[in-house]
């Protein structure tokens, strides 16, 4: 059921070209928000844009790890659709390797995309949110920000950083009308996960089904998370009634992390 509880709110979603970002876009647009979809692939963004309910949405191209590019893209979005009221920091990347084979370039890439990219987005929207006395910042972290996983030390370190940033900023802004929270999905059925499954197949010789089953086994419910389940959590944090939810890291993972 669609409603208009976010009517008049401008939401910007990074990494909006598919997977969790697309599901979040559909959920927020379905509740009346006007959206800016940000990413690096204009064709993917345009495909999502065409599926959104409502009107007045737009897209922006930027590498989330590039501070100046993000600043310019966010400024253009605000000029087109008004100040950004809701920021969903969804863009991310995951690469796996034992730490001994995690070279400085891979380490830096994981930090730049997952952690610095989150900072860049927040830094761009914060002045306007503080001026208007209202804002919702939701950082899509991961269960990897709440626990450890072997062979993804750089990714875990970056996502733990996102959780720390979320908690610190939530306290800093607690009296400002702005809430800051993190949503932490477990293994979610997205194109990014399919890449991970293909990597497991290539390295181990297991079938795709066996690789998927091994990942789903980490969830006590024995399944992969659906992108829509993550989107529903994000939506709730942005809707009226969630004002007291601040500084939280909410696992959407079937009980994997408690």
| Catalytic positions | 155
Residue 6 near residue 54, CB atoms below 8 Å: no
Q: Give the Cα separation of 101 and 99 in Å (integer).
A: 5
How many helices, marked H, and strands, marked E, lie in the chain? 9, 7
Q: Give the Cα separation of 159 and 150 in Å (integer).
A: 14
H/E element, 14: strand 10-14
Angle value at C-alpha 119, between 117 and 124, nearest 5 degrees: 100
């Amino acid at each position: 059921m669609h409603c208009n509880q976010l009517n008049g709110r401008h939401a910007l979603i990074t990494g909006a070209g598919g997977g969790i970002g697309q599901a979040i876009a559909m959920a927020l647009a379905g509740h009346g928000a006007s959206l800016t979809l940000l990413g690096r692939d204009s064709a993917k963004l345009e495909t999502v844009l065409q599926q959104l309910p409502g009107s007045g949405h737009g897209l922006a191209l930027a590498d989330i790890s590039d501070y100046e590019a993000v600043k310019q893209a966010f400024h253009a979005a605000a000029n087109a659709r008004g100040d950004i009221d809701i920021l969903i920091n969804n863009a991310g990347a995951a690469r796996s390797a034992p730490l001994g084979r995690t070279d400085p370039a891979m380490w830096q890439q994981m930090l730049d995309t997952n952690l610095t990219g989150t900072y860049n987005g927040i830094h761009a929207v914060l002045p306007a949110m503080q001026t208007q006395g209202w804002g919702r910042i939701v950082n899509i972290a991961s269960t990897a920000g709440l626990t450890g996983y072997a062979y993804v030390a750089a990714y875990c370190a970056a996502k733990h950083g996102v959780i720390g940033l979320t908690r610190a900023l939530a306290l800093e802004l607690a009296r400002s009308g702005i809430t800051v929270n993190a949503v932490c999905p477990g293994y979610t059925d997205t194109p990014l996960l399919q890449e991970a499954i293909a990597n497991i197949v290539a390295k181990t010789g297991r079938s795709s089904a066996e690789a998927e089953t091994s990942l789903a086994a980490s969830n006590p419910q024995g399944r992969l998370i659906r992108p829509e389940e993550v989107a529903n959590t994000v939506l709730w944090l942005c809707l009226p009634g969630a004002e007291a939810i601040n500084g939280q890291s909410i696992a959407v993972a079937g009980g994997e992390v408690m």
